[in-house]
Amino acid sequence: MPIPKAELHLHIEGTLEPELAFALAARNGVDLPYADTEELRKAYDFDDLQSFLDLYYGLMAVLRTEADFEELADAYLARAAGQGVRHAEIFFDPQAHIARGVPIGTVVEGLSRALDRSEERHGVSTRLIMCFLRDESAESAMETLRAARPHLDRIIGVGLDSAEVGHPPAKFKEVYEAAAALGLRLVAHAGEEGPPSYITEALDVLRVERVDHGLRCVEDPALVERLAAERVPLTLCPLSNVRLRTIDVLADHPLPRMLDAGLMCTVNSDDPAYFGGYAGDNFDAVREALGLDEERLRTLARNSFEAAFLDRDAGEEAL
Protein backbone atom coordinates (compact mmCIF):
# COMPACT_ATOMS: atom_id res chain seq x y z
CA MET A 1 0.00 0.00 0.00
CA PRO A 2 1.51 3.34 -0.98
CA ILE A 3 1.77 5.95 1.79
CA PRO A 4 -1.26 8.29 1.83
CA LYS A 5 -0.10 11.69 0.69
CA ALA A 6 -1.26 15.06 -0.62
CA GLU A 7 0.03 16.33 -3.93
CA LEU A 8 0.60 20.08 -3.82
CA HIS A 9 2.60 20.74 -7.00
CA LEU A 10 0.93 19.32 -10.06
CA HIS A 11 0.21 21.05 -13.36
CA ILE A 12 -2.86 19.41 -14.87
CA GLU A 13 -1.58 20.15 -18.38
CA GLY A 14 1.54 18.23 -17.39
CA THR A 15 -0.50 15.06 -16.92
CA LEU A 16 -1.30 14.85 -20.64
CA GLU A 17 -0.01 11.41 -21.58
CA PRO A 18 0.96 10.84 -25.24
CA GLU A 19 -1.90 8.37 -25.78
CA LEU A 20 -4.51 10.89 -24.61
CA ALA A 21 -2.80 13.66 -26.61
CA PHE A 22 -3.19 11.64 -29.82
CA ALA A 23 -6.79 10.64 -28.99
CA LEU A 24 -7.75 14.29 -28.38
CA ALA A 25 -5.86 15.42 -31.49
CA ALA A 26 -7.92 12.98 -33.59
CA ARG A 27 -11.17 14.04 -31.89
CA ASN A 28 -10.49 17.75 -32.37
CA GLY A 29 -8.87 17.60 -35.82
CA VAL A 30 -5.53 18.90 -34.54
CA ASP A 31 -2.37 18.01 -36.50
CA LEU A 32 0.52 17.06 -34.24
CA PRO A 33 4.10 17.37 -35.49
CA TYR A 34 4.86 13.80 -34.32
CA ALA A 35 4.11 10.58 -36.20
CA ASP A 36 3.02 8.62 -33.15
CA THR A 37 3.27 8.34 -29.36
CA GLU A 38 6.70 6.78 -29.62
CA GLU A 39 8.09 9.71 -31.59
CA LEU A 40 6.45 12.13 -29.15
CA ARG A 41 8.00 10.35 -26.15
CA LYS A 42 11.41 10.53 -27.84
CA ALA A 43 11.04 14.34 -27.83
CA TYR A 44 10.92 14.30 -24.01
CA ASP A 45 14.66 14.78 -23.78
CA PHE A 46 14.90 18.21 -22.24
CA ASP A 47 17.93 20.48 -21.79
CA ASP A 48 16.30 22.87 -19.34
CA LEU A 49 12.96 24.35 -18.28
CA GLN A 50 12.47 26.34 -21.51
CA SER A 51 12.96 23.33 -23.80
CA PHE A 52 10.27 21.52 -21.81
CA LEU A 53 7.91 24.52 -21.82
CA ASP A 54 8.14 24.83 -25.62
CA LEU A 55 6.88 21.27 -26.08
CA TYR A 56 4.37 21.49 -23.21
CA TYR A 57 2.63 24.63 -24.51
CA GLY A 58 2.64 23.20 -28.06
CA LEU A 59 0.95 19.95 -27.06
CA MET A 60 -1.81 21.86 -25.24
CA ALA A 61 -3.27 22.55 -28.73
CA VAL A 62 -5.22 19.27 -28.38
CA LEU A 63 -7.15 20.53 -25.31
CA ARG A 64 -10.21 22.36 -26.64
CA THR A 65 -13.48 21.39 -24.97
CA GLU A 66 -14.86 20.93 -21.46
CA ALA A 67 -14.91 17.18 -22.14
CA ASP A 68 -11.16 17.27 -22.95
CA PHE A 69 -10.31 18.94 -19.64
CA GLU A 70 -12.64 16.58 -17.78
CA GLU A 71 -10.98 13.54 -19.33
CA LEU A 72 -7.51 14.91 -18.61
CA ALA A 73 -8.28 15.54 -14.92
CA ASP A 74 -10.13 12.27 -14.42
CA ALA A 75 -7.20 10.29 -15.85
CA TYR A 76 -4.79 12.11 -13.51
CA LEU A 77 -6.97 11.54 -10.45
CA ALA A 78 -7.30 7.82 -11.20
CA ARG A 79 -3.51 7.43 -11.51
CA ALA A 80 -2.78 9.59 -8.49
CA ALA A 81 -5.24 7.62 -6.35
CA GLY A 82 -3.44 4.42 -7.33
CA GLN A 83 -0.22 5.93 -5.95
CA GLY A 84 -1.66 6.92 -2.57
CA VAL A 85 -2.68 10.52 -3.30
CA ARG A 86 -5.65 11.40 -1.09
CA HIS A 87 -5.71 15.12 -1.74
CA ALA A 88 -4.53 17.08 -4.79
CA GLU A 89 -4.08 20.82 -5.24
CA ILE A 90 -4.06 21.18 -8.98
CA PHE A 91 -2.48 24.00 -10.99
CA PHE A 92 -3.76 25.14 -14.34
CA ASP A 93 -2.47 27.78 -16.77
CA PRO A 94 -5.46 29.85 -17.95
CA GLN A 95 -3.37 32.19 -20.14
CA ALA A 96 -2.02 29.27 -22.16
CA HIS A 97 -5.59 28.34 -23.07
CA ILE A 98 -7.09 31.82 -23.45
CA ALA A 99 -4.28 32.61 -25.94
CA ARG A 100 -5.51 29.68 -28.09
CA GLY A 101 -9.12 30.85 -27.99
CA VAL A 102 -10.22 28.51 -25.20
CA PRO A 103 -12.05 30.57 -22.56
CA ILE A 104 -11.20 30.18 -18.88
CA GLY A 105 -14.80 29.04 -18.27
CA THR A 106 -14.30 26.01 -20.54
CA VAL A 107 -11.17 25.04 -18.62
CA VAL A 108 -12.62 25.53 -15.13
CA GLU A 109 -15.97 23.90 -15.91
CA GLY A 110 -14.31 20.93 -17.62
CA LEU A 111 -11.81 20.36 -14.82
CA SER A 112 -14.57 20.82 -12.22
CA ARG A 113 -16.66 18.06 -13.78
CA ALA A 114 -13.87 15.62 -12.92
CA LEU A 115 -12.95 17.26 -9.60
CA ASP A 116 -16.55 17.26 -8.35
CA ARG A 117 -16.73 13.47 -8.70
CA SER A 118 -13.20 12.79 -7.52
CA GLU A 119 -13.88 11.99 -3.86
CA GLU A 120 -16.62 9.56 -4.75
CA ARG A 121 -14.81 7.97 -7.72
CA HIS A 122 -11.19 8.03 -6.60
CA GLY A 123 -11.17 8.94 -2.91
CA VAL A 124 -9.16 12.09 -3.71
CA SER A 125 -10.23 15.53 -2.44
CA THR A 126 -9.19 18.39 -4.68
CA ARG A 127 -8.56 22.12 -4.96
CA LEU A 128 -7.78 24.26 -8.02
CA ILE A 129 -5.02 26.86 -8.19
CA MET A 130 -4.70 29.12 -11.25
CA CYS A 131 -1.18 30.07 -12.23
CA PHE A 132 -0.04 33.24 -13.95
CA LEU A 133 2.61 32.84 -16.64
CA ARG A 134 5.55 34.88 -15.36
CA ASP A 135 6.98 35.41 -18.86
CA GLU A 136 3.77 37.26 -19.75
CA SER A 137 3.15 40.81 -18.53
CA ALA A 138 1.80 41.83 -15.13
CA GLU A 139 -1.15 43.43 -16.98
CA SER A 140 -1.97 40.10 -18.61
CA ALA A 141 -1.94 38.43 -15.17
CA MET A 142 -4.32 41.09 -13.83
CA GLU A 143 -6.60 40.62 -16.83
CA THR A 144 -6.57 36.87 -16.19
CA LEU A 145 -7.54 37.41 -12.57
CA ARG A 146 -10.42 39.57 -13.80
CA ALA A 147 -11.49 36.84 -16.26
CA ALA A 148 -11.44 34.34 -13.39
CA ARG A 149 -13.78 36.40 -11.19
CA PRO A 150 -16.98 34.51 -12.19
CA HIS A 151 -15.25 31.20 -11.35
CA LEU A 152 -13.70 32.01 -8.00
CA ASP A 153 -16.04 29.65 -6.16
CA ARG A 154 -14.03 26.91 -7.87
CA ILE A 155 -10.52 28.35 -7.46
CA ILE A 156 -8.78 28.38 -4.10
CA GLY A 157 -5.60 30.23 -4.94
CA VAL A 158 -3.12 31.68 -7.39
CA GLY A 159 0.38 30.58 -8.38
CA LEU A 160 3.19 31.72 -10.67
CA ASP A 161 4.88 29.45 -13.20
CA SER A 162 6.61 29.24 -16.61
CA ALA A 163 10.09 30.59 -17.50
CA GLU A 164 11.59 31.79 -14.23
CA VAL A 165 14.94 33.47 -14.90
CA GLY A 166 14.51 37.16 -15.75
CA HIS A 167 10.97 37.23 -14.36
CA PRO A 168 11.32 37.90 -10.64
CA PRO A 169 8.30 37.58 -8.35
CA ALA A 170 8.12 41.34 -7.63
CA LYS A 171 6.82 41.85 -11.19
CA PHE A 172 3.51 40.41 -9.92
CA LYS A 173 3.17 42.32 -6.63
CA GLU A 174 -0.05 44.08 -7.60
CA VAL A 175 -1.86 41.05 -8.93
CA TYR A 176 -0.94 39.07 -5.79
CA GLU A 177 -2.29 41.91 -3.65
CA ALA A 178 -5.50 41.84 -5.67
CA ALA A 179 -5.73 38.05 -5.33
CA ALA A 180 -5.19 38.25 -1.57
CA ALA A 181 -7.93 40.88 -1.31
CA LEU A 182 -10.26 38.39 -3.03
CA GLY A 183 -9.46 35.82 -0.35
CA LEU A 184 -7.31 33.63 -2.59
CA ARG A 185 -4.42 31.58 -1.19
CA LEU A 186 -0.96 32.44 -2.54
CA VAL A 187 1.85 30.24 -3.84
CA ALA A 188 4.60 30.79 -6.45
CA HIS A 189 7.33 28.85 -8.21
CA ALA A 190 10.66 30.23 -7.02
CA GLY A 191 14.20 28.89 -6.89
CA GLU A 192 13.71 26.19 -9.53
CA GLU A 193 16.11 27.71 -12.07
CA GLY A 194 15.98 31.18 -10.54
CA PRO A 195 18.28 32.40 -7.75
CA PRO A 196 17.60 32.17 -4.00
CA SER A 197 16.70 35.88 -3.99
CA TYR A 198 13.52 35.00 -5.94
CA ILE A 199 12.45 32.83 -2.99
CA THR A 200 12.93 35.73 -0.59
CA GLU A 201 10.99 38.02 -2.95
CA ALA A 202 8.13 35.53 -3.26
CA LEU A 203 7.87 35.51 0.55
CA ASP A 204 8.36 39.21 1.24
CA VAL A 205 6.80 40.86 -1.81
CA LEU A 206 4.15 38.38 -2.93
CA ARG A 207 3.51 37.06 0.61
CA VAL A 208 3.19 33.44 -0.56
CA GLU A 209 2.26 30.72 1.92
CA ARG A 210 4.21 27.98 0.12
CA VAL A 211 7.12 28.02 -2.28
CA ASP A 212 6.93 25.75 -5.32
CA HIS A 213 10.31 24.04 -5.80
CA GLY A 214 12.44 26.36 -3.66
CA LEU A 215 15.32 24.04 -4.46
CA ARG A 216 18.01 26.70 -4.83
CA CYS A 217 17.50 27.89 -1.24
CA VAL A 218 20.31 25.47 -0.40
CA GLU A 219 22.77 27.99 -1.87
CA ASP A 220 21.91 30.51 0.86
CA PRO A 221 22.35 29.27 4.46
CA ALA A 222 20.58 32.30 5.95
CA LEU A 223 17.58 31.66 3.73
CA VAL A 224 17.54 27.98 4.72
CA GLU A 225 17.52 29.03 8.35
CA ARG A 226 14.64 31.42 7.76
CA LEU A 227 12.56 28.89 5.79
CA ALA A 228 13.07 26.32 8.54
CA ALA A 229 12.24 28.76 11.35
CA GLU A 230 9.08 29.93 9.59
CA ARG A 231 8.16 26.40 8.51
CA VAL A 232 7.58 27.54 4.95
CA PRO A 233 6.48 24.51 2.92
CA LEU A 234 8.56 23.73 -0.17
CA THR A 235 6.88 21.65 -2.86
CA LEU A 236 9.86 19.75 -4.27
CA CYS A 237 9.64 17.74 -7.48
CA PRO A 238 12.70 15.43 -7.60
CA LEU A 239 12.11 13.65 -10.93
CA SER A 240 11.33 17.00 -12.55
CA ASN A 241 14.65 18.41 -11.31
CA VAL A 242 16.54 15.59 -13.01
CA ARG A 243 14.58 15.76 -16.29
CA LEU A 244 15.01 19.54 -16.50
CA ARG A 245 18.68 19.20 -15.54
CA THR A 246 18.51 21.36 -12.46
CA ILE A 247 20.46 18.51 -10.89
CA ASP A 248 22.55 15.91 -12.73
CA VAL A 249 21.37 12.72 -11.06
CA LEU A 250 18.82 11.97 -8.38
CA ALA A 251 21.53 10.74 -6.02
CA ASP A 252 22.75 14.37 -5.88
CA HIS A 253 19.35 15.75 -4.84
CA PRO A 254 19.67 17.89 -1.69
CA LEU A 255 16.41 16.54 -0.18
CA PRO A 256 18.14 14.65 2.69
CA ARG A 257 20.20 17.73 3.58
CA MET A 258 17.10 19.87 3.39
CA LEU A 259 15.25 17.58 5.80
CA ASP A 260 18.30 17.59 8.11
CA ALA A 261 18.18 21.40 8.07
CA GLY A 262 14.59 21.26 9.34
CA LEU A 263 12.96 22.43 6.10
CA MET A 264 9.31 21.62 5.59
CA CYS A 265 9.75 19.59 2.41
CA THR A 266 7.07 17.85 0.39
CA VAL A 267 7.52 15.58 -2.64
CA ASN A 268 5.40 16.05 -5.76
CA SER A 269 5.34 15.20 -9.45
CA ASP A 270 5.10 18.60 -11.26
CA ASP A 271 4.38 17.33 -14.82
CA PRO A 272 4.26 13.56 -14.41
CA ALA A 273 3.46 12.67 -18.03
CA TYR A 274 6.70 14.35 -19.09
CA PHE A 275 9.07 13.64 -16.22
CA GLY A 276 8.76 9.91 -15.78
CA GLY A 277 6.50 9.51 -12.81
CA TYR A 278 3.53 10.40 -10.63
CA ALA A 279 3.62 11.25 -6.92
CA GLY A 280 4.22 7.69 -5.68
CA ASP A 281 6.93 7.21 -8.31
CA ASN A 282 8.68 10.30 -6.93
CA PHE A 283 8.49 8.85 -3.40
CA ASP A 284 9.87 5.51 -4.65
CA ALA A 285 12.64 7.26 -6.57
CA VAL A 286 13.88 9.30 -3.60
CA ARG A 287 13.69 6.27 -1.34
CA GLU A 288 15.89 4.30 -3.71
CA ALA A 289 18.30 6.98 -4.90
CA LEU A 290 18.70 8.80 -1.58
CA GLY A 291 18.16 5.95 0.86
CA LEU A 292 15.34 7.70 2.72
CA ASP A 293 13.94 5.43 5.43
CA GLU A 294 10.25 4.86 6.24
CA GLU A 295 10.25 7.51 8.93
CA ARG A 296 11.49 10.20 6.56
CA LEU A 297 8.99 9.18 3.91
CA ARG A 298 6.25 9.44 6.55
CA THR A 299 7.53 12.90 7.49
CA LEU A 300 7.26 13.96 3.83
CA ALA A 301 3.71 12.60 3.65
CA ARG A 302 2.75 14.27 6.95
CA ASN A 303 4.22 17.57 5.72
CA SER A 304 2.10 17.33 2.57
CA PHE A 305 -1.15 17.29 4.58
CA GLU A 306 0.09 19.97 6.95
CA ALA A 307 1.00 22.26 4.03
CA ALA A 308 -2.26 21.60 2.17
CA PHE A 309 -5.02 24.16 2.01
CA LEU A 310 -7.49 21.96 3.86
CA ASP A 311 -8.60 21.70 7.44
CA ARG A 312 -6.40 19.69 9.71
CA ASP A 313 -8.87 16.86 10.39
CA ALA A 314 -8.94 15.75 6.75
CA GLY A 315 -5.19 15.14 6.68
CA GLU A 316 -5.07 13.34 9.98
CA GLU A 317 -7.92 11.13 8.87
CA ALA A 318 -6.04 10.19 5.71
CA LEU A 319 -2.91 9.32 7.67
Rule CB under 6 A: is residue 97 a binding residue for ligand ADE? no
Rule CB under 6 A: is residue 161 a binding residue for ligand ADE? yes
The alpha-carbon radius of gyration of the chain (Å, integer) is 18
Q: Distance between CA atoms of 110 and 258, rounded to whole angstroms?
A: 38
143 is catalytic: no
Contacts of 161 (CB under 8 A, 6+ apart): 11, 91, 93, 131, 132, 133, 134, 189, 212
271 appears as a binding residue in the annotation: yes
Rule CB under 5 A: is residue 7 a binding residue for Zn ion? no
CB atoms < 10 A from the CB of 209, how many? 15
Catalytic residue among 13, 89, 164, 192: 192
Rule CB under 5 A: is residue 270 a binding residue for Zn ion? yes
Question: Largest alpha-carbon pair distance within the chain?
Answer: 53
Q: Distance between CA atoms of 111 and 248, rounded to whole angstroms?
A: 35
CB nearer to ligand ADE: pick between 213 and 302: 213
Site for ligand ADE in 47-86 (CB under 6 A): 49
Site for ligand ADE in 226-265 (CB under 6 A): 240
Pairing type for strands 5-11 and 233-236 reads: unpaired
Q: Of 34-42, 196-204, 251-259, 268-276, which part binds Zn ion (CB under 5 A)?
A: 268-276
- Choose from ligand ADE, Zn ion, none: what does 71 bind? Cβ within 5-8 Å by kind: none
Q: Which residue, 108, 166, 169, is CA-closest to 138? A: 169
Among 187, 270, 286, 303, the residue binding ligand ADE under the rule CB under 6 A is 270
Q: Distance between CA atoms of 217 and 248, rounded to whole angstroms?
A: 17
253 appears as a binding residue in the annotation: no
CB atoms < 10 A from the CB of 150, how many? 11
153 appears as a binding residue in the annotation: no
Residues touching ligand ADE, count (CB under 6 A): 10
Site for Zn ion in 59-118 (CB under 5 A): none
- Name the residues that contact ligand ADE, by CB under 6 A: 11, 14, 49, 161-162, 189, 192, 240, 270-271
- Name the residues that contact Zn ion, by CB under 5 A: 270
Binding site for substrate, by residue number, is: 271
